[in-house]
Structure formats: structure tokens, C-alpha cells
């Protein structure tokens, strides 16, 4: 009789172990290498697009019609991106487009940050405002304070050595005094003093063309008109008085009288004083209109549009004198006796009478 153990079925033998051949091993190694390559490429891609590091903000100019390749090369050269090819590929994938201008960037910005900034058009500007009546020296100080460069560099540009004298048709020996148009200028932060002075001169040329669109008067040269405008600018801040003062200057010039304008003496002195004394009037300078007849050799300041307009179209009247009254308005007189009386009234603090309106021009026959 068989035992229970004799009824048990023996277990099947274990399956044979398959040994990998050289081909299978090679394929596995290739797969691992590809996976490592993919992972490494992804890491390299992320690194190529990442910020370069920390650093101070700076200005970078995107030039008009600049190719992505040229832009990428300059970004690498400036230490703002890690890889030119990564920038170009990302540029193509995002279908980016840049707007020309000067931007404030930093090494802490990624490639995506830079592309977004360049596409936004949020360009950086350096802004400076030159008031009417500023001299070259005052403009130089203002330009230096605004960060365009040194006051000396601006003065060199305004001297004519670097300025657009040909554009303005200035006489030999002239400087840009009078032609640095007073205005607010928004320029790229990379603009230097020479380019700032050129921008002011170009603005003057634009305004002059507008004012003389109907024809340029021929009583004086352009340089003389600008000189007259500069005298007007420094003599009054009231627009309604500018044509009247222009008329006084024209009347005195026609009569061969010395202009005797205090502002020209201050320019000759080279510094400002609240009140001139007799010794100041003796300063030896062609800009001293108390000693020299006629107009000074050139402008004594940079006039604004109202003064230029007044010089080109002076009021028609017979006034020969004016003095600043106690209320800040000028008193205009026809004779020296009237003028002396007006000066006494001004010293006594009396209110200035309003000037009589100039006679209406006669109708053409």
C-alpha cells in the first residue's frame, strides 16, 4: 500500500536562467546613455536660460533692425546671458520681437526676462529740463547733474568744436550760446554731453523753421535776431512785455543809441548780481552795451520761443526806455525825462502804470 507521500507530485524544475548576450547589454547601455543625455540636456538648457548671476543694473541698447544673432552676441559680450545659441533658439520658439531703445537690465534677469523686456518697449530715459534764459555755463551744470557727463564736456560741445555749427549756419568764431533750445529732453541714458547739445541745437532749428515758415525777416541776420531774443529773454519773464522790449531795442538801434541793457553787463561780468553799480558798467567787454554801440557779438543766453517770436516781430511804438517797476512790471518811456521820473517812482515803490498800447498799423493802400 502506498503512503500519502507517494501520492505527491514532485515540483517542476526551475526555468533555465537566460543569460544576456553582448547585444542586449549594449542596447541597455545605449538606453541609459540616452536617458542621461536627455536629462543632462534638459539641465543644460535650463542653465543656459538662467540668469548669469548677481550684479548692478546697467543700460543696454537694442539697435533698430538688429538681428537676433547680433543681439545675442552683444548680450554674451556684456555678460548678460550665458549662451548665444540658447538665446536664439528661445527667441525663435517664443516668436519674440524687440523694440529698439535703451533698456535697464541686470545680470539677475533670465533670457525669458530679457525677451519680455525687449518686447515691451519699456525703454529707459534720462530726462533733463533747461529753463529759458539759461547760459551755456548753467546748461553745463544742469547736464552734469542729470548724469550726461561732466560740465567741462558739455562746455566743449557747446564751444562749437563738437557742435553742429554747420546745421545752424553760425558765423566764424560763434558758439552754441543762444542755440541750445530750452526744453525738456528725454534721451537714452547712454547719451553723452555732445549728443545732448546736438539735440538742443536740432530742436532750435525746428522751432526756428516754424517761426519763419512764412519767410525770414531781412532786417537782421539770423545770428542778430537770436542775439536780440537772448537780450529780451534776460530782461523780462513776461510774455506781454517781450514785443515791447524788442521794439525798444529796434528803436535804439535805428537811432544809433547804445542799448544800455543790464543783462549784457552781467554776461560780460560772468556772474550774477542783484544790482549793478557804476563800476560794473565800465567793464571792458564787447558785451557791455553801456560802452559798445549796437548789438553784442552774440547771444547772452538761450532764448525760448516767445522771445524768438518777439525778436522776429517787435511791437511798433516810439518807446526808447524802460525800467522795472516795484510791482515787477516794466515802465516804458519815450523821453529821458519820463524815464528818470519812472525810475524815481520805482525806487519809491509806486505801482507801474500799464504801457500805452502801440498804435495800430496803417492799412495798406
* Helix locations, the chain, DSSP H: 4-7, 22-49, 68-77, 84-94, 111-120, 136-145, 151-158, 165-168, 193-211, 222-235, 242-255, 262-269, 305-312, 336-347
Q: Which residues are bridge partners to 324 per DSSP?
A: 330
The Cα 250–Cα 168 span in angstroms is: 24
The pTM score is 0.75
Residues 37/45, Cβ–Cβ less than 8 Å: no
pLDDT digits (tens, 9 = 90+) for 176-209: 999 999 999 999 888 999 999 999 999 999 999 9
Q: 289 in helix, strand or coil?
A: coil
Q: Which residues are bridge partners to 105 per DSSP?
A: 58
Burial class of 59 by CB neighbour count within 10 A (0 to 12, 13 to 18, 19+): middle
- Domains, in order of start, for the chain: 58-120 (3.30.1490.480), 125-211 (no CATH)
DSSP 149: S
pLDDT digits (tens, 9 = 90+) for 78-117: 999 999 999 999 999 999 999 998 999 999 999 999 999 9
pLDDT digits (tens, 9 = 90+) for 262-304: 999 999 998 888 888 889 999 999 999 999 999 999 999 999 9
Element (H, E) at 128: strand 126-129
Amino acid at each position: 500500500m502506498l503512503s500519502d507521500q507517494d501520492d505527491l507530485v514532485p515540483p517542476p524544475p526551475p526555468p533555465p536562467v537566460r543569460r544576456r548576450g553582448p547585444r542586449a547589454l549594449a542596447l541597455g547601455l545605449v538606453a541609459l546613455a540616452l536617458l542621461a543625455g536627455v536629462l543632462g540636456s534638459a539641465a543644460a538648457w535650463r542653465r543656459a536660460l538662467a540668469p548669469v548671476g548677481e550684479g548692478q543694473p546697467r543700460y543696454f541698447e537694442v539697435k533698430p533692425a538688429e538681428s537676433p544673432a547680433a543681439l545675442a552676441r552683444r548680450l554674451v559680450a556684456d555678460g548678460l546671458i550665458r549662451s548665444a545659441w540658447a538665446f536664439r533658439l528661445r527667441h525663435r520658439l517664443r516668436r519674440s520681437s524687440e523694440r529698439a531703445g535703451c533698456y535697464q537690465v541686470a545680470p539677475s534677469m533670465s533670457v525669458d526676462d530679457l525677451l519680455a523686456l525687449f518686447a515691451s518697449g519699456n525703454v529707459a530715459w534720462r530726462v533733463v529740463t533747461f529753463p529759458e534764459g539759461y547760459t551755456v555755463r548753467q546748461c553745463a551744470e544742469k547736464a552734469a547733474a542729470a548724469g550726461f557727463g561732466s560740465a567741462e564736456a558739455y562746455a566743449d560741445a557747446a564751444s562749437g568744436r563738437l557742435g553742429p555749427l554747420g546745421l545752424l549756419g553760425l558765423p566764424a568764431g560763434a558758439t552754441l550760446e543762444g542755440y541750445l533750445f530750452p526744453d525738456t529732453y528725454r534721451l537714452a541714458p547712454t547719451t553723452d554731453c555732445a549728443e545732448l547739445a546736438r539735440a538742443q541745437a536740432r530742436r532750435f532749428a525746428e522751432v526756428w523753421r516754424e517761426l519763419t515758415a512764412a519767410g525770414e525777416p531781412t532786417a537782421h541776420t539770423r545770428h542778430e535776431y537770436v542775439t536780440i531774443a537772448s537780450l529780451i529773454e534776460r530782461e523780462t519773464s513776461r510774455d506781454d512785455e517781450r514785443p515791447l522790449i524788442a521794439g525798444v531795442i529796434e528803436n535804439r538801434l535805428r537811432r544809433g543809441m547804445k542799448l544800455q541793457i543790464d543783462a549784457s553787463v552781467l554776461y560780460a561780468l560772468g556772474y550774477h548780481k542783484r544790482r549793478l553799480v557804476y563800476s560794473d558798467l565800465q567793464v571792458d567787454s564787447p558785451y557791455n552795451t553801456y560802452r559798445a554801440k549796437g548789438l553784442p557779438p552774440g547771444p547772452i543766453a538761450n532764448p525760448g520761443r516767445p522771445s524768438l517770436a518777439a525778436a522776429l516781430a517787435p511791437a511798433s511804438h516810439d518807446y526808447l526806455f524802460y525800467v522795472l517797476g516795484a510791482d515787477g512790471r516794466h515802465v516804458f518811456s519815450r523821453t529821458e525825462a519820463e524815464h528818470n521820473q519812472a525810475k524815481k517812482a520805482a525806487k519809491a515803490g509806486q505801482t507801474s502804470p500799464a504801457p500805452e498800447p502801440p498804435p495800430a498799423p496803417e492799412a495798406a493802400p
